[in-house]
């Protein structure tokens, strides 16, 4: 049985990852600051009180895992943050200590405005999202930069606008390329893709866009 550890498990995408992983028969460890924030209980789910900004609170839990999945986020807080960059620093350190190599994590499609987006989405991204979410995107780019310097088998997902729509298993992905008009993607489908590529070396060391 594969064993994974999930950070940010109480968020929309993280919860979907945990739910779908259990359904696939995986053994899941969820790191949570507040265990009550995740109301799932299962004999294949271990809930651990921990904080991604405090390495000692989860370091030992990374041991013997086949993969690490990071869905960490700042919630609705738009103030300057280091949760992405510092969080990934701590996760990578714990992985090195425990000799774990595979990491899949979420960034955001809006960190980069590309011509492939089309005029409307590119303008919305550049003029609205990148201004409102400036602090979050700045820290996400630091996180991505840290991963690019890492020798571990990482994959960064850059999803389009996240929604709470049901799982479809039908979506587009762009590996080493930008998607055309990436409007939205459900958290459930992002979770599905994250779990699908755990063992896929073709996705190692790449930033991948995902959208409908």
CB atoms within 10 A of CB 2: 15
Q: What is the DSSP letter of 24?
A: T
Tens place of pLDDT for every residue, the chain, 212 residues?
A: 799 999 999 999 999 999 999 999 999 999 999 999 999 999 999 999 999 999 999 999 999 999 999 999 988 888 999 999 999 999 999 999 999 999 999 999 999 999 999 999 999 999 999 999 999 999 999 999 999 999 999 999 999 999 999 999 999 999 989 999 999 999 999 999 999 999 999 999 999 999 99
- The answer to whether the CB of 120 falls within 8 A of the CB of 171 is no
In degrees rounded to 5, what are phi and psi of residue 4? -125, 160
pLDDT at 82: 95
Q: Counting every residue, how long is the chain?
A: 212
Task: Name the residue among 6, 21, 19 with its Cα closest to residue 106.
Answer: 6
CA distance 38 to 50: 13
- The answer to whether the CB of 6 falls within 8 A of the CB of 62 is no
- The answer to whether the CB of 28 falls within 8 A of the CB of 4 is yes
pLDDT at 75: 83
Per the structure block, which two tokens stand in for 211? 């959208």
- Domains, the chain, ranges and CATH? 3-211 (3.40.50.720)
pLDDT at 77: 85
- The answer to whether the CB of 153 falls within 8 A of the CB of 101 is yes
């Amino acid at each position: 049985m594969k064993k994974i550890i999930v950070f940010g498990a109480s968020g929309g995408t993280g919860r979907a990852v945990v739910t779908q992983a259990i359904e696939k028969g995986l053994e899941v460890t969820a790191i949570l600051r507040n265990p009550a924030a995740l109301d799932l209980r299962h004999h294949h789910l271990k809930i651990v009180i921990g904080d991604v900004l405090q390495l000692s609170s989860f370091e030992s839990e990374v041991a013997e895992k086949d993969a690490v999945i990071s869905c960490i986020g700042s919630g609705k807080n738009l103030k300057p943050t280091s949760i992405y960059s510092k969080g990934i620093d701590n996760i990578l350190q714990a992985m090195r200590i425990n000799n774990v190599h595979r990491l899949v994590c979420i960034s955001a499609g809006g960190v980069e405005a590309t011509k492939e987006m089309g005029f409307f989405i590119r303008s919305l991204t550049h003029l609205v999202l990148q201004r409102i979410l400036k602090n979050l995107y700045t820290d996400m780019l630091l996180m991505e930069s840290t991963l690019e310097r890492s020798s571990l088998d990482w994959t960064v997902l850059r999803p389009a606008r996240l929604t709470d729509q049901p799982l479809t298993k039908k979506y587009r992905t762009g590996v080493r390329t930008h998607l055309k008009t990436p409007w939205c993607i459900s958290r459930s489908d992002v979770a599905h893709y994250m779990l699908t590529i755990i063992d896929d070396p073709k996705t190692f060391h790449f930033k991948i866009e995902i959208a409908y």
